[in-house]
Every structure is written in C-alpha cells, then in structure tokens.
Amino acid sequence: MSTVPTTCDLLIHSGDVIDGTGVARAHLDVAVTGDRIVAVGDHLDLRIDATSKIDASGLIVAPGFIDAHTHDDRAVLSGPDMTPKVSQGVTSVVTGNCGASLAPFAGREPPPPMNLLGDASWYRFPTMREYMEAVEASPPALNLAPLVGHTALRAATMDDVYRAATAAEIARMETLLDEALEAGCIGMSTGLAYPPAVEAPTDEVVTLASRLGARGGIYATHMRDEGTGILDSVRETLEIGERAGVPVVISHHKCSGRESWGLSRETLATIAHARAKQSVNLDVYPYVASSTVLLVDWIAGAERVLVTWSASHPELNGRDFEGIRAEWGCSVEEAVERLSPAGAIYFKMDEEDLQRILRFQDAMIGSDGLPHDTFPHPRLWGTFPRVLGHYCRELGLFPLEEAVHRMTGVTARVFGLTGRGTIRTGGLADIVLFDPDRITDEADFSAPTRQARGIYQVIVNGKQVWRGGEWTGARPGRILRREQAED
Ligand SMILES: [Zn+2]
C-alpha cells in the first residue's frame, strides 16, 4: 500500500469506482493533486484534507474515455472546447486515422479522405512537429495521441497519388514518417479503401510499416475492402503486421453491404486465431450506418444514403440522396458530380454483425466522428453514451465494467498511452463521473448534434473541463507522445 497523503487538491468521494481494468466496481474515494491521482481508497474523506470536493453519490467514477478512432486533427485547433467529445466523457482521442492526418502536408488541395478534415487552407503543416507545436501553443480541452496518415505521406511526396509510389517516393515517405515518429506520433494509419491509397500495393505499406517496428509504433488501418472481400483484407492486414513486425488495429470493423452480412463470424475467428502469434486489435462504433466522403461506388448496396455536407449545395445538407437525385431527374453519377466534394451517411450494416463485433474480446470503442460535417453522423456526439446506455444497460451486451474497460484500459494498453486508462494511485487524473441509470445518447440521424445525458463531470490532467452540462473553459489537453509517455 502506498501511503495516503494528508492533503489533496480535489477529492471525489462517495462514488462507485470502475477502474478501467475490467474488475467489479468498488465504493471508493479518489484523491487528485496536480495532474495525478494520489490516492484511491475507502473513506479518504476522513483522512485527507481536500481543497475542493465532489460528491459522487450514486455516480460511477471511471477513467476518462479514450476515443480509439477519430478525425479530430483539425478540431483540436478549430474547436478547442471539443464539446462533442468531452460531453460524452472522452478525455483523450487518437487522431490521424484512415490515412488522413493534418500533417505532414501543406499548400495544395488534399485528396480523399483528407478533405474530410478541411480544404487546402487547413493544410499548413509540412512536418508533424510543426502541427504538434501549433496544438501545444493553443491546447484543447482534451488529450490527443496522433497517428500519421499514409495518404498524407503520399500526398506530400507524390505528384499524382492515384498510382503506386516509386522507390524514390517511398524513400521520401520514409523520411517524413521517421520525422513524425521522432516528433512523438504513436504510429501510422492507412485508408486503403479510398481512391488514392487503394493504388498502394501491400509491399508499399509493409516498407513503411517496418519503420514503426523499431520505435514501438502501431499500424491502424481502414482496410482495402469492408464488403464481400473483407476476409482478404483481414489477411492482408495480418500479413502487413507480421512482415513489418508491428501491432495492428483494424479500424471501425464492420461488414458493409448486404452480401457481406454475417462475415464477421469469419473475420473475428481469423483475428482471434491470429492473436496467438501477433498483436491484433480492432475498434468499432455502435451504429449500422457508416459515414465518409460521397462516392459513386459506395452508394451501391446502401439501403439509404444521407448527405452530410456538400460544398456546392450546402442547402441540401441532411437530405436523402435518392430524393435529391429524383428531384434533379439525373443519374446517380451526375448527382454525385453535382454535389461533390461532399460527404454522406451510408446505411449498409447489419445489427447482428455490429453486436457480434462489439462483444468481441477487447474490441475498443472508437467514434470515427466527423467534426466538420454540417449534418454529421450521430456517432460524433453519441458513441460512448450509446454503448453504455443502449448496448450495456438496455440490451445487456456486457457488464458496465466491461464496457468501460473497452473505452479505457484496453485502449490505453493497445495504443501505449502510459499512465492513462485506469483509476490508480500514481496514474494521470483523466476521470469521468456519470450516472449509470441515466446515461443515454440523444443524438440520432435526424438530430445528430444533441448532447448526451448522464455525464456529470469530466476531468483532464486533474482539471475540470466539463461540469453542469457545459465546458468550464479549461484547456489542459496534451499531446500523448509515444516515446515521452508519462508515467
Ligand atoms: Zn475509415
């Protein structure tokens, strides 16, 4: 037992602590001084003199949630309050997913899916170090752990990204990747399903991913095919991980399109089998619709498509794509052409697959929210409360301790976020207080930006950032670097 201090800055008392490791909750008090948890124990309120106190009676005290999959690279700069995330209890986000990171790339129009983060005016960082310095000069309310995007590396080094890279281009990408890893990036992501990166052969990815191995980086991938070819894509992902000697994370695992429904049985069995010899994990969001750029190929097989943003027709944001096409009396191709660049929500998944993936051992929760969409997918505002409320409390998919574990302890371990993801003495004080009986996602496909219910307080690095249903104004967020991880 560590010795209990006699004083602390903040004492959270009378709550039920779910510590993020998966073990059963316990009625404990948590003492915080500076950015650290300095004691966790029984009746600390009788032993410690606290500068301020929070009565957590009837509430769960848990590690702040870690969003395993985000596109918040620009949001942390343009909306430092990070309300869509903090309001859900999120205290750290993994950025730079799907091959799209805000650095290293500057000065030109970004290819998809980088255009989901913004147009050329937002791409100002020729190196990852410059991006990180900009974030640290104007920090957000929560922490971020950046990945560097493969598509960004390609866009920065190739005159035409719609082809395989040459040896010379790959060498330039390696230099930029090394720089990003030295700056502290936790790994690299790919978006192999998207038009530019789909041209990258497996070997190109293996060469780059091999740079991660020596530095303990991770490889996260939006796989080449999430439809009928998904098993081949899982095998390619495992091959990349094995040949490059890196842990892999399969991003937003799903079976997209009716013909692929049910394939999660095989993908998950393959992943479970591979775990005997390599590190492989996945993240998932709790919805049966996906969201990304509007592309002709991805409309095929969707039960329904909603337009989330359109540069040329902003008045149509939130409308049904088929309704727009019918009104215009044109083909799908022409309607896409007229709306582009644009984003969409695609209803293409099956609830059974979703629940099977959510239940999979150590499946991490990641929102994949798109913070700059005018009419976003509700996952941006609702992911974490939806897992805790709908899937855990209402459907009983897993115990609350397990749900929290997949949002905290597992994610910190997989991404190497030392000192985060658990409530323990000596750990960093990222903490959420929520009501297990009330927590509910309020955002849906018709009102996608409604704030969730049941989150009472959110603390980042020991500072209260969310209280009484609003941002406190505090911006204690940090960049969580791989090599200078705090412990
Ligand atoms: Zn993706």
Q: For residue range 416-466, what is the model confidence (pLDDT) as tens digits? A: 999 999 999 999 999 999 999 999 999 999 999 999 999 999 999 999 999
How far, in Å, is the centroid of ligand 1 from the Cα of 155?
17
With cut-offs at 50, 70 and 90, classify the pLDDT of residue 483.
low
Asked if 222 and 254 touch (Cβ cutoff 8 Å), the reply is no
With cut-offs at 50, 70 and 90, classify the pLDDT of residue 482.
confident
How far, in Å, is the centroid of ligand 1 from the Cα of 100?
9
Q: For residue range 224-275, what is the model confidence (pLDDT) as tens digits? A: 999 999 999 999 999 999 999 999 999 999 999 999 999 999 999 999 999 9
Report CA-CA distances (Å) from 483 to 145, 159, 184, 394, 486: 12, 32, 6, 41, 9
342: helix, strand or coil = strand
How far, in Å, is the centroid of ligand 1 from the Cα of 42?
44
With cut-offs at 50, 70 and 90, classify the pLDDT of residue 42.
very high
How far, in Å, is the centroid of ligand 1 from the Cα of 21?
28
> What does the pLDDT read at residue 158?
97
End-to-end CA distance of the chain: 18
How far, in Å, is the centroid of ligand 1 from the Cα of 423?
30
d(CA 197, CA 101): 14
How far, in Å, is the centroid of ligand 1 from the Cα of 348?
14
Token pair for residue 447? Answer: 């009102």
Q: For residue range 325-366, what is the model confidence (pLDDT) as tens digits? A: 999 999 999 999 999 999 999 999 999 999 999 999 999 999
d(CA 5, CA 20): 23
Cis geometry, peptide bond prior to residue 104 (ω within 30 degrees of 0): yes
How far, in Å, is the centroid of ligand 1 from the Cα of 14?
41
How far, in Å, is the centroid of ligand 1 from the Cα of 380?
14
Query: With 50 as the cut, is the pLDDT of residue 487 above it?
Result: no
Query: With 60 as the cut, is the pLDDT of residue 486 above it?
Result: no
The share of the chain scoring above pLDDT 90, in percent, equals 95
How far, in Å, is the centroid of ligand 1 from the Cα of 394?
28
> What does the pLDDT read at residue 26?
98
d(CA 17, CA 15): 6
Q: Which domains does the chain have, with CATH numbers?
A: 7-63+422-471 (2.30.40.10), 65-298+343-415 (3.20.20.140), 299-342 (3.30.1490.130)
Query: With 70 as the cut, is the pLDDT of residue 1 above it?
Result: no
Mean pLDDT of the chain, nearest integer: 96
How far, in Å, is the centroid of ligand 1 from the Cα of 334?
25
How far, in Å, is the centroid of ligand 1 from the Cα of 396?
28
How far, in Å, is the centroid of ligand 1 from the Cα of 251?
7
How far, in Å, is the centroid of ligand 1 from the Cα of 410?
20
> What does the pLDDT read at residue 215?
86
How far, in Å, is the centroid of ligand 1 from the Cα of 104?
19
* pLDDT (mean) for 281-289: 98
> What does the pLDDT read at residue 206?
98
How far, in Å, is the centroid of ligand 1 from the Cα of 404?
23
* pLDDT (mean) for 393-403: 98
Q: For residue range 160-200, what is the model confidence (pLDDT) as tens digits? A: 999 999 999 999 999 999 999 999 999 999 999 999 999 99
> What does the pLDDT read at residue 2?
61
Q: For residue range 298-316, what is the model confidence (pLDDT) as tens digits? A: 998 899 999 999 999 999 9
Query: Which DSSP string do the residues of 123-134 spell out, in sequence order?
Result: -EESSHHHHHHH
Indicate the Cα dihedral angle 264, 320, 122, 176, nearest 10°: 20
How far, in Å, is the centroid of ligand 1 from the Cα of 115?
13
How far, in Å, is the centroid of ligand 1 from the Cα of 316?
24
